[in-house]
Amino acid sequence: MYTQALNTAEADDRGLEDAAKAVQFQARIDGEERIEPNDWMPAAYRKTLTRQISQHAHSEIVGMLPEGNWITRAPTLRRKAALLAKVQDECGHGLYLYAAAETLGTSREELVDAMLAGKAKYSSIFNYPTLTWADIGTIGWLVDGAAIMNQIPLCRCSYGPYARAMIRVCKEESFHQRQGYEIMLTLCRGSDEQKAMAQDALNRWWWPVLMMFGPPDATSQHSDTSTKWKIKRFSNDELRQKFVDATVPQAQYLGLTIPDPGMIQDADGHWRYSEIDWTEFKQVLAGNGPCNRDRLAARRKAHDEGGWVREAAAAYAAKRAQRRTAQAAE
């Protein structure tokens, strides 16, 4: 997830490239073939995917922060072990995705440096704070739920390394949503205060979660290229609607109210939500969300404090290599 269609596809520059190759490339895509790293691809395809996959990777890594905030304060050992395992998974997801992005020709270090420099985006959702334990339940239930909705079609993405990374991620992701829902269920079956805490978390996360699917179809002009290239298989609004339809009954089961008084079920059974506040979305993306500065500062601190480890490991590897060369010469 977290690709959020922040990535406006690159302008089609096929005119500059071998037209025959471009036609052949599109034919392969249309034939549901997978594109692999060494295959010819249009420069715009490479650029769009590098951006999308690296944003996705950054999101997994930054996404560890709001949940990591609660590891030491999880209410039981069972919850703590689950949360630790989930956050560890997210770290792995980041690594799978960086590895997939790298096959397009940009090194992981370069991608990470761009994120640390504030030049790369990550999902807006991780710029919201986790104020109570119920936020951890809500994140698993809704944020991971939305992520799964987005990631399942990406398992069939035309770019092989991305599709394969997504298959791995989706497999691991299924426990994330379940553990979140279990937390919510426990809170909703608990005291009045616990249930109120669950409702409060839902109230705060609902709208930001709907924004995770990206701007409405009417305003995202470039998604047709991504669709043509089979990077994207469903539009933002289609995925958002699927998510809402799946989530409303889950909220009803918990006895929680979706904070959208205007929501109605239409004749086809779809839950129609009210207008989303896209100004908030744009503000958060522009760096003005509640936690943007905190998140970047935390990532920079972790990166800088890991510097000596990278240096020491590289120095040790170099020393060993040198010793081997010397021994071979003897």
Neighbours of 299 (CB within 10 A): 19
Q: Indicate whether 147 belongs to the interface with Fe ion (CB under 5 A).
A: yes
Question: CA-to-CA distance for 248 and 265, rounded, in angstroms?
Answer: 10
Q: Least CB distance from residue 147 to Fe ion, whole Å?
A: 4
CB of 111 to another protein, least distance (A): 10
Residue 1: name the closest of 160, 172, 203 by CA: 172
122's tokens = 């990550």
Q: Return d(Cα 123, Cα 139) in angstroms, integer.
A: 13
Asked if 90 touches another protein (CB under 8 A), the answer is no
Give CA torsion, residues 286, 291, 297, 299, to 10 deg.
-90
What backbone phi and psi angles, to 5 degrees, belong to 145? Answer: -60, -45
Does residue 52 contact residue 120 with C-beta atoms inside 8 Å?
Answer: no
Q: Is the Cβ–Cβ distance between 70 and 133 less than 8 Å?
A: yes
Written as one letter, the residue type at 90 is E
Q: Of 264 and 315, which CB lies nearer to another protein in the complex structure?
A: 315
Pick what 1 binds: Fe ion, another protein, none; C-beta below 5 to 8 Å, kind-dependent. Fe ion
Q: How far is the CB of 131 from another protein (least distance, A)?
A: 30
CB of 120 to another protein, least distance (A): 13
Q: How many CB atoms lie within 10 A of CB 32?
A: 9
Among 287, 290, 314, 324, binds another protein (CB under 8 A): 314
Closer CB to another protein, residue 117 or residue 196?
A: 117
Query: Which tokens belong to 162?
Result: 């991305």
> 4's torsion region: left (phi>0), alpha (psi -120 to 50) or beta?
left
Q: Which is nearer to another protein, 253 or 316 (CB)?
A: 316
Nearer to another protein, 269 or 307 (CB): 307
Nearer of residues 103 and 223 to another protein, judged by Cβ: 103
Residue 271: its H or E element:
strand 271-272
Residues 50-69 that bind Fe ion (CB under 5 A): 60
Q: Is 136 in the site for Fe ion (CB under 5 A)?
A: no
For 107-140, letters b (16+ CB in 10 Å) and e give: ebeebbebbbeeebbbbbbbbbebebbbbbbbbb
DSSP state, residue 265: E
Task: Please report, for residues 78, 150, 185, 193, the alpha-carbon distance to residue 189 in angstroms, rounded to integers and kept in the order given.
Answer: 18, 30, 6, 11
State the minimum distance, in angstroms, from the CB of residue 139 to another protein: 20
Query: Comparing C-alpha atoms, which of 113, 224, 95, 88 is closest to residue 161?
Result: 95
Candidates 13, 18, 113, 277: give the one binding another protein (CB under 8 A).
113
158 binds, among Fe ion, another protein, none (CB under 5 to 8 A by kind): none
Nearer to another protein, 36 or 224 (CB): 36
Residues contacting another protein: total by CB under 8 A: 35
State which of positions 14-53 bind another protein (CB under 8 A). 36-40
Which residue from 6, 64, 104, 187 is in contact with another protein, where contact means CB under 8 A? 104
Query: If DSSP codes are grouped into helix, strand and coil, which group holds residue 171?
Result: helix
Residue closer to another protein (CB basis): 13 or 36:
36
Under the binding rule (CB under 8 A), the answer on residue 109 touching another protein is yes
By CB under 5 A, what part of segment 88-107 binds Fe ion?
90, 93
Cβ proximity to Fe ion: between 99 and 263 the closer is: 99
- Interaction site with Fe ion (CB under 5 A): 1, 60, 90, 93, 144, 147, 173, 176
- Interaction site with another protein (CB under 8 A): 36-40, 85, 88-89, 92, 95-96, 99, 102-110, 112-113, 117, 164-165, 168, 172, 303, 310, 313-314, 316-317, 320
